[in-house]
């Protein structure tokens, strides 16, 4: 009997189940009895709201339409940021002239929270797509660059000695050592960039938008429908998580040698 209990308790999925069910029950209890119950929908209400939104249009779009509006902004901003940030970070690590020219300017902009650019970007680009993509690009650019840069800078220099002992030149040092060794750090940077991108997207959409998940959340506040707000939060979380999973899969294909890290 005690043995059976141990087997059940050691099963990680059993405990996951307990954790999630417990959370849902607590939420449900709070939605009925707590002091914020008036503006805290029950889980089942959030579910119904989401189902409802997939069929009905809000501001001309269903839930999928709004999700796509947001996803598109994130993807464009993330791709621009990676396409510039990763190569620039690698070049900075490999070439001291590039480093000396780019780093001082980069260091000025690095500590600025990307959200602080919102007002400027609206003045520059208006309240359309461009201003949101601009914020997302800035937010994703910084971690993409820093991690690519450090991925090469923090290498054990003895790895270059291996190539040099074989008579290799600078080209071999870069293509046989520096670039492959930087991949895990580059991917770690892209993961952070992706999560920053969602943060910036939301900030941008909360300030001004006519479509997107941030717009839905603001709409939920305006019409006093907390189920809409929480539904929006859940959908964002799921989508961001799915993108992280996809990125991890890509990394595992490109870097099969990397030991899997447990979070």
Partner 1 sequence: MEKGASIVIADHPKIVCQKVSKVFTQRQGQVRIHVLEGIDLEVRRNEFLVIVGPGQCGKTTLLRIIAGLEKPTSGQVLLDGSEVTGPGPDRGLVFQKYMLFPWKTVQGNVELGLKVRGVPKRERRDIATHYIELVGLNGFEKAYPHQLSGGMKQRVGIARAYANNPEVLLLDEPFGQLDAQTRYLMEQEVARVWAAEKRSVIFVTNSIDEAVYLADRIVTLEGKLPGRMKSSYRVDLPRPREHTEKPFLELRHKITEETELLL
Please report, as ranges, the residues that interact with partner 1 according to CB under 8 A: 156, 158-159, 161-168, 172, 176-177, 180-181, 183, 255-259
Q: At closest approach, how far in Å is the CB of 168 from partner 1?
A: 4
Tokens of 14: 């059993």
Tell me the C-alpha to C-alpha distance, in Å, between residue 166 and each of 152, 155, 159, 163, 238: 21, 19, 12, 5, 49
CB 239 within 8 A of CB 250: no
Nearer to partner 1, 151 or 204 (CB): 151
Contact 142, 189 (CB under 8 A): no
User: From the CB of 156, what's the least distance to partner 1, in Å?
Assistant: 7
C-beta neighbour count of 110 within 10 angstroms: 13
Query: Closer to partner 1 at the Cβ: 55 or 167?
Result: 167
Which CB sits closer to partner 1, 233 or 255? 255
CB of 143 to partner 1, least distance (A): 22
**Which residue lies nearer to partner 1 by CB, 90 or 138?**
90
Least distance between partner 1 and beta carbon 187 (Å)? 13
Q: Which of 69, 84, 77 is nearest to 131 (CA)?
A: 77
Contact 20, 14 (CB under 8 A): no
């Amino acid at each position: 009997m005690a043995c059976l209990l141990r087997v059940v308790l050691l099963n990680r999925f059993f405990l996951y189940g307990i954790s999630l069910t417990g959370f849902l029950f607590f939420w449900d209890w709070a939605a009925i009895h707590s002091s914020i119950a008036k503006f805290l929908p029950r889980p089942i209400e959030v579910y119904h709201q989401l189902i409802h939104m997939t069929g009905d249009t809000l501001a001309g779009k269903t839930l999928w339409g709004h999700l796509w509006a947001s996803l598109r902004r994130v993807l464009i901003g993330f791709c621009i940021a990676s396409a510039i940030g990763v190569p620039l970070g690698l070049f900075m690590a490999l070439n001291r002239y590039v480093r000396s020219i780019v780093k001082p300017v980069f260091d000025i902009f690095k500590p600025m929270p990307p959200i602080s650019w919102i007002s400027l970007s609206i003045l520059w680009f208006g309240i359309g797509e461009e201003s949101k993509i601009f914020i997302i690009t800035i937010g994703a650019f910084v971690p993409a660059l820093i991690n690519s840069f450090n991925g090469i800078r923090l290498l054990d220099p003895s790895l270059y000695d291996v190539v040099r002992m074989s008579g290799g030149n600078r080209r071999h040092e870069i293509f046989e050592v520096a670039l492959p060794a930087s991949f895990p750090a580059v991917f770690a940077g892209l993961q952070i960039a992706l999560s920053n991108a969602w943060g910036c997207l939301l900030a941008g959409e909360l300030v001004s938008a006519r479509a997107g998940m941030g717009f839905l959340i603001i709409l939920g506040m305006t019409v006093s429908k907390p189920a809409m707000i929480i539904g929006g939060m859940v959908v964002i979380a799921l989508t961001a998580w799915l993108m992280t999973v996809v990125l991890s899969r890509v990394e595992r294909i490109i870097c099969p040698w990397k030991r899997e890290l447990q979070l």
